[in-house]
Structure 1
Amino acid sequence: MEVLVMAGQLILGLSILVGLHELGHLLAAKAFGMRVEQYYIGFPPKIWSFKRGETEYGVGAIPLGGFVKISGMIDESLDTTHTNTEPLPYEFRAKPAWQRLIVMLGGIIVNVIVGILIFVVLAYKNGNTYLAAKDAKYGIVAYDLAKSIGLQTGDKIVKVNGRTITDFNEIRGSDVILGDNSTYTVERNGKLIDIDIPNDFIDKLADKKNAGQFIDPVEPFKVREVAPGQPADKAGLEAGDVITSVNGKPVRFYHEFVDLVKPLKNKPITLGINRNGQAKSLNLTTTEDGTIGFYAEFLLPVTKEDYTFGQAISIGTEKAFSVVYDNIKGFGKIFRGEVSASKALSGPIGIAQNLFGGIWVWDRFWTVTGLLSMALAFMNALPIPALDGGHATILGYEIISGRKPSDRFLEGAQRVGMVILLGLMAFAIFNDVFKAVF
């Protein structure tokens, strides 16, 4: 069921974004009097279509893209039958270069607008709920990856790159992970020390074995919900119980509980609990994964900040463009060899697993869709032939130089671009499968 939910979210999100992206091209083309022959969401074979006016609108069976076919344009279809005739007034090639440039940028512009709108609406609707750095009073849980750079459980991170933090999540922010020569200033045993973060740290963080295992706040907790049929449920654990010990060893924080129970796979254990002020003990056997089957409620106070619509516009826009900045910084690290492409890049399988997840939560769905909208805008803007950015680069050359490249050159560039894109897609899908299996 989780696989279907992940696939459903990915297909819906991409269909929305691709449909709107191609609509940007279509509207711009029609605005300049160009004939649009086809508008498709998804790639062939065709599932359904209808024709209105000069344009066929349809849905393809492969939901990982889409296209708009504009008369007189050498595109991914590599249709060159028109190149031996004089341009007709309604053809793409007959229009001024500046109009063709706007048409090629239309999809990117729409994706940027959609990404901004999604983040603005989410900011206005949800505000910002976060753990204030001052409220993380017990410090951090340092997992193995954090320990490898010199952090310790109980450290209090007070500054990032010399700047005092207010939100605990700033510790794990892109400015730190994707930055260069980043540092933490840590309070340990009453002293302040600086800890350097290696520039290739993201390569280790991207490793599957380190997923979600870097830094967490040290959190007191109680039982929020017990999973039916699990050992905790069978032993009589209830919502609201506070676990105070495991096999006689005291427990105060959630990471202490996990550290004690996780190694005891399929083992009998005794839990000490506090239920409404009364001490009780429960006997149970852990699962083969070293869990007992309950959801924790963390007890550190969270801060809720609501935004006016004006504030939401500013914050949502900033968050949308931060996706682009992060992509630029990420590609920079790949090109400098600080992170391997196999760990950093994901295809459709990786996106579905790592971003959407197996539970349909609408806020998360729209957040990921907003991220993908900005990422698609960035990727399409790259100057690779066959992408919008490649077409725009060639048109920019034409506008500046006053010389139009030959149809033979355009056809060759399109072929090269298609080979590059198909190679990248094959790499991403194979990489997703490899990471999922190994």
Structure 2
Amino acid sequence: MDVLLYLGGIVFMLIGLGLSIGLHEVGHLLPAKLFGVRVGQYMIGFGPRLWSKRIGETEYGFKLLPLGGFISMSGMYPASTAAGPAKGLFRALVQDARSANDETIAAGAEDRVFYRLPVWKRVIVMLGGPLMNLILAVVIFTVLVSGIGVQQGTTTIASVNECVLPAGSTATECAADDPATPAAEAGIRPGDVLVSVGGQSVSTFAEATAIVQAAPGKTLDLVVRRDGAEKTLSITPVEAERTITDASGQPVLGDDGEPVVKDVGYVGMGAQMGFVQQPFSAGPQMAGDTVARVGSMILTLPVRIWDVGVSLVTGGERDPNGPLSVVGVGRLAGEVAATDAPVLNRFSVLLSLLGSLNVALFVFNLIPLLPLDGGHVVVALWDGIRRAWAKLFRRPPPAPVDATRLVPLTVVVATLLIAMGAVLLLADVFNPVKLFGG
């Protein structure tokens, strides 16, 4: 059964990845067709063709390796002029790129080429793919936090401590001289549902905790719902040294990475954990926070890849927040699906992984280097700057930017990306990140 669940998690992530790639390419395809560009192919995957069908002038299909996708737009670059045999490796690469580009320009459709579009339309076409991933991430995170909810303490009481113990104590039983907790003295019982604390209505345990922690030594009216009826109790929090926790019950860490401990009001009751639905603004906010986190990772990607390579050679522990290959994401999805936890908890983590994957696709494709979408945006903007400069000084419009000249640099970038991908793939096979140890 565990094996089937593990495989199910991998399949879920593969389907999600395929959908993410497909929608990314749709983000390029729709504006390209809207602006009249001839699109010859829309393909998911690379390598040998598995299936395809031509609809109109566009061939739609799937290829063997589901590691990406592409659309083939007519005339990404200006048509080349006749030239003799190229000498040298880089010149040969440039000429091959120009020849391949020329083949996309169909006879009679010379005016339906990408490079002739106004700059703003070219930017929209190239940003359409990454933006589609960002939109998908926002939708996923909104479903996650507003539809399913965030797991945190609810207003239902799960436990009441009998006595006040020092913070960090490992004692499991109360001594005779240990003072009783205010919750026990007030008569709070497991199963009670908090309605209000100190006259303030509460909808989460975190809200109740904040009121209690801010009122050491003050008597508070505490209204609970018990057996369908509301009951008012009086409770006086004692001042105690306690570890500060967030809404999900996790310790808040200080600048030194250690849990924050403060003297606060304490009553000695614990909450049942449950999924608490958040406002619709929480989904976009979560996506934005993830964009910032992934962006920071991209800025330090070479260092992180180096660390992954070192851990691969030495067998050291991987950073759980570090970069992963598709294999690594699949393995994590399998671990999550096979773990011993409620189905909704597992599904929530899988959705979170898929949302983060789409954010990674969004941020990574914005890197301003060819062959990535951000590189094509830079080329279009540079073309626009040259044209604006010429117009400002009343000069003839310059020839369109011929990005095939950048093919040698593109090859170098692509080679580095492949090398980094290979390091991550090997590390995810031989020294994978493990969520649950072992």
TM-score, L = length of structure 1: 0.60
Partner of 2:416: 420
Change (3 A) 1:333 1:42: closer
**Which whole-Å CA distance do the structure 2 matches of 1:83 and 1:166 have between them?**
55
Return the letter of the residue paired with 2:369: I
**Which whole-Å CA distance do the structure 1 matches of 2:116 and 2:57 have between them?**
18
Change (3 A) 1:315 1:83: closer
The alignment status of 1:45 with 2:48, answered yes or no, reads yes
Partner of 1:368: 353
Partner SS, residue 244 of structure 2: strand
Partner of 1:185: 260
Contact 1:88 1:94 in 2 (8 A): no
Partner of 2:385: 400
Partner of 1:348: 326
Structure 1: runs of 5 or more not aligned? 143-154, 160-164, 192-219, 221-298
The alignment status of 1:80 with 2:80, answered yes or no, reads no
Change (3 A) 1:304 1:369: closer
Match of 1:114 among 136, 144, 153: 136
Partner of 1:29: 32
Partner SS, residue 122 of structure 2: helix
Change (3 A) 1:398 1:51: same
Partner of 1:230: none
Return the letter of the residue paired with 2:27: G
Partner of 2:82: none
Cα displacement (A) at 1:401: 3.4
Change (3 A) 1:135 1:116: same
The alignment status of 1:169 with 2:250, answered yes or no, reads yes
Match of 2:428 among 432, 435, 438: 432
The alignment status of 1:100 with 2:122, answered yes or no, reads yes
Contact 2:244 2:251 in 1 (8 A): no
The CA deviation string for residues 306-349 of structure 1, in whole angstroms up to 9 with x for no partner, is: 34xxx22x100001111111112334566778993444221112
**Which whole-Å CA distance do the structure 2 matches of 1:413 and 1:338 have between them?**
21
Change (3 A) 1:84 1:108: closer
What fraction of aligned residue pairs are identical, expressed as a percent? 27
Cα displacement (A) at 1:14: 0.7
Change (3 A) 1:355 1:382: farther
The CA deviation string for residues 239-259 of structure 1, in whole angstroms up to 9 with x for no partner, is: xxxxxxxxxxxxxxxxxxxxx
Return the letter of the residue paired with 2:331: Q
**Which whole-Å CA distance do the structure 1 matches of 2:150 and 2:63 have between them?**
39
Change (3 A) 1:51 1:319: same
**Which whole-Å CA distance do the structure 2 matches of 1:339 and 1:83 have between them?**
36
Give the length in aligned residue pairs. 305
Match of 1:91 among 107, 113, 117: 113
Contact 2:154 2:271 in 1 (8 A): no
Change (3 A) 1:63 1:408: closer
Superposed, 1:232-251 pairs within 5 Å as none
The alignment status of 1:124 with 2:205, answered yes or no, reads no
The CA deviation string for residues 7-57 of structure 1, in whole angstroms up to 9 with x for no partner, is: 312311110100000010000110110011111111121111100011000
Superposed, 1:1-400 pairs within 5 Å as 1=3, 2-73=5-76, 79-81=97-99, 88-131=110-153, 156-158=242-244, 165-169=246-250, 171=252, 184-187=259-262, 300-302=271-273, 304-307=275-278, 311-312=279-280, 314-331=281-298, 340-342=307-309, 343=319, 344-357=322-335, 359=337, 361-400=346-385
Partner SS, residue 324 of structure 2: coil
**Which whole-Å CA distance do the structure 1 matches of 2:39 and 2:121 have between them?**
15
Structure 2: runs of 5 or more not aligned? 78-92, 171-240, 310-318, 339-345, 388-397
Return the letter of the residue paired with 1:370: G
Partner SS, residue 49 of structure 1: strand
Change (3 A) 1:338 1:71: closer
Cα displacement (A) at 1:135: 8.9
Cα displacement (A) at 1:363: 3.6
Contact 1:73 1:93 in 2 (8 A): yes
Cα displacement (A) at 1:106: 0.6
Contact 1:333 1:339 in 2 (8 A): no
Change (3 A) 1:365 1:83: closer
Change (3 A) 1:336 1:157: farther
Cα displacement (A) at 1:91: 1.1
**Which whole-Å CA distance do the structure 2 matches of 1:135 and 1:305 have between them?**
16
Contact 1:101 1:392 in 2 (8 A): yes
Change (3 A) 1:365 1:338: closer
Q: Tell me which structure has the larger Cα radius of gyration.
A: 2
Change (3 A) 1:339 1:302: farther
Cα displacement (A) at 1:81: 1.8
Contact 1:5 1:358 in 2 (8 A): no
Partner of 2:189: none
TM-score, L = length of structure 2: 0.60
The CA deviation string for residues 61-117 of structure 1, in whole angstroms up to 9 with x for no partner, is: 11121111111126x997422666999211112222221111110101111111111
**Which whole-Å CA distance do the structure 2 matches of 1:337 and 1:46 have between them?**
35
The CA deviation string for residues 119-173 of structure 1, in whole angstroms up to 9 with x for no partner, is: 112223212331379999886799xxxxxxxxxxxx84227xxxxx44423637x
